Chain A
Amino acid sequence: MIAVSADLAIQVRDLTFAYPDGASALVGVSFDVLAGESVGLVGPNGAGKTSLFLCLAGVLKPRATLFQVGGLDPRDPAQRRRLPTQVGIVFQNSDDQIFSATVFDDVAFGPLNLELPADEVRKRVAEALERVGLTGMEERVPFHLSGGEKRRVALAGVLAMRPSILLLDEPSMYLDPRGRRELIQLLHTLGGTRMIASHDLELILQTCDRVLLLDRGQLMADGPARTVLADATLMEAHGLEVPYSLRGNSIA
């Protein structure tokens, strides 16, 4: 019997997932994430980063010997239904995530699904928009927003659910340097448990203390961000590069 620890936000043992066409996405992945920890997830294209996030969010149904996220087991249908209150996922493409006709409606979508009273929904929307710096944009329509604003709306929609764990999939994709800088500042203010999947290794360095390296669905490395990302041999073996800011003190 494997113990479930209260200090752990995420516990995963031997997680395996294959798509219906038989393609293996994740093979025997095991790791823990402490409550309040910020963990980067890196790997080449097709490594299984998004699949892992979709498993953690309860969208995909993997096999595992132990699987608990925010105290819930995503494999159990009853617990999976409660997962959106514990885990918030921000997708790669904000257009996939902002599906309502106005910013207000989109941020209110999650709280309304929790069947909260109208006043509480309005309070949560106002609070989430304030946290991402979009107060006053409630009536804006999504197709009039910039890439950075869309990313913030997507994040506000997730924050309005008040999850204890945030999963951000390629958060700096489609952002210009200013938008990226603002996003990093915003991430520092969020707190809670975070996992960030990205090819932007500088962003990972600035926002995460620990890194998981995934390749072909397998966990290849797990350690402090500055150690893993500075290992040139490891990085090159998995189709990555040592971030520019670490090149002076490369291990290999």
Chain B
Amino acid sequence: MIGPTLNRRRLAALIAATGGATLGACDKIADDDKVARGVGTAEVLTRTVQRLILSPGQLAPEYRESEISKFFKPNGSTDPESDAYVALRDAGFKDWRLEVTGLVEHPLSLSLDQLRAQPSRTQITRHDCVEGWSCIGKWKGARLGDLLTRAKLKPQAKYIVFHCADSLGDADDGSEDYYESIGLADAFHAQTILAYDMNDQPLGVPHGAPIRLRVERHLGYKQAKYVMKVEAVASLDKLHGGYGGYWEDRGYEWYGGI
């Protein structure tokens, strides 16, 4: 059955051609947006299993002062240019107010000083960017769970949305404004804070001044910077692209735990 006339060169060429065609086809398929979303449905499995393994109260690892990164890479927006933000920044965020709105019984509007007077938590945690790098920083901020308890969520509230002052594109119609969202379990997690201090200094502009979200146990793009408004909602469908975040609307996973 295997004669001595075996033509290895032709076989090798055939294998190479098949392999090449498969890769080419794979790539065509991979570039299709619908396919990308289809492939992305595996996230449901990933998220479900992660939530099974991760008990709600489990803390992300915390580190020693000596482990704080000397250089913490600022990523995404590092200097928002909108007139409204620039005016707030130039006045030292004196006029900045954090709105806590949406499906809450008692909407809040807090100045930075009032936010600093809220129950706080200080933590030294690791920031893992979706790109791959990691930095360790020390964060102090108001506990989001306590703020939400004060505002009293309505029973329909399922998600907490963070509206930010920065925009990653050139559009001025708000379609490229940064936003993020998390579920209630993460919103009430002990390490979930609206951080106003980083490494014992007021949060700098490159890192999201005056406040950024720290939702440890998740990737960097979930840690929304320049937070202006916290909104409790029942569904994410009607917000921007409908996937629950600026990067989620552009193909990233909503849960972002891996």
Q: Do A and B come from one complex?
A: no
**Chain A positions near chain B (C-beta within 8 angstroms):** none
- A-binding residues in B (CB < 8 A): none
